[in-house]
Amino acid sequence: MTDGVLNLSDLAYHWPGRSGFSLAVPRLEIAKGESILLLGESGSGKSTLLSLICGTILPDRGSITIAGTDITTLSGGARDRFRAEQIGVIFQQFNLLPFGTVSDNILLPLRFAPKRRKRAGDASAQAMALATALGLPKGVLGTKATSLSVGQQQRVAVARALIGQPPLIILDEPTSALDANSQAAFLDLLFAQTEAHQTSLLMVSHDSRLGKRFDRVIRIEDIAQIERTTL
């Protein structure tokens, strides 16, 4: 076993149903503090791989080790708790609480993760510090998150993923709707925060132009075998 934050070994998964889709990943490792851009077209298996890493689906075989724990050995409830403690997720559509304030949204992961809450220390103070570092307006914490601009909502989503310093951040196409300048600004803010805490990043995208910002660029077809069958 290595000291990587994420280690996949001999991973295989087959979606049930008449139209078969199977994914196999012999090996993937992400080191502490490393940033990885995972490239692939729509339907290439990126979302399935993220679901496996997050523990929302279980592989048919293989191990998924995050921060020293093989999540395939955990029960469904234990995987949910582990994900809340150890993984920050930034979704393409942000998935903010529609009626919650900015503070409610940033602090949400800590409600389900006592260890992460402990790492955060003074959670309200850390939420404010993250909001400031990410360039959100002063006094924004009490504002309804949905009243903010799209760019500001994205920064709230980043702060929510970062609070409590989870060792792994996963990003699901977060820049797909942004222009080039907005993409660059988003990545500047993200990397400034993650580099300060040696946080590992796995970002999936179809945009190869982002590759120069990351430590490594991996194409999903280079690490995974995909099979599709129609009965």
CA atoms within 13 A on the CB side of 192: 14
pLDDT at residue 3 in the model: 67
Residue 177 contacts residue 205 (beta carbons within 8 Å):
no
Give the C-alpha separation, 225 to 231, whole Å: 20
Residue for token digits 């692939």? 40
Q: Going residue by residue through the chain, which has 231 residues, state the pLDDT in tens, using 9 for 90 and above.
A: 456 899 999 999 998 775 678 999 999 999 999 999 999 887 788 888 999 999 999 999 999 999 999 999 999 999 999 999 999 999 878 889 988 999 999 999 999 899 999 999 999 999 999 999 888 988 899 999 989 988 889 889 999 999 999 999 999 887 766 677 777 888 888 898 888 888 999 999 888 888 999 999 999 999 998 887 755
Helix (H, G, I), strand (E, B) or coil at 167: coil
Q: Nearest CA to 88 among 39, 18, 17, 156? A: 156
Assigned token pair, 163: 């609070």
How crowded is residue 106: how many other Cβ atoms within 10 Å of its Cβ?
31
What is the token pair recorded at 40? 């692939």
One-letter amino acid at 167 equals P
Alpha carbon distance 21, 231 (integer Å): 11
Question: By C-alpha distance, which of 53, 60, 55, 54 is closest to 21?
Answer: 60
Helix (H) or strand (E) holding 197: none
Question: In CATH, what class is 34-56+83-219?
Answer: alpha beta
Say which residues have a Cβ less than 8 Å from residue 230's Cβ, sequence separation at least 6.
18, 19, 20
Cα 32 to Cα 62, 155, 157, 187, 201: the distances in Å are: 22, 23, 22, 18, 9
Question: What pLDDT, on a 0 to 100 scale, did the predictor assign at position 18?
Answer: 53
What per-residue confidence (pLDDT) applies to 43?
76
Which residues have a Cβ under 8 Å from the Cβ of 108 and sit 6 or more positions away?
97, 100, 160
Q: Is residue 198 within 8 Å of residue 165, measured between CB atoms? A: no
3-class state of residue 171 by DSSP? strand
Q: What pTM did the predictor assign?
A: 0.89
pLDDT in tens, 86-113: 999 998 788 899 889 999 999 999 998 9
Beta bridge partners of 200: 168
The pLDDT of residue 177 is 65
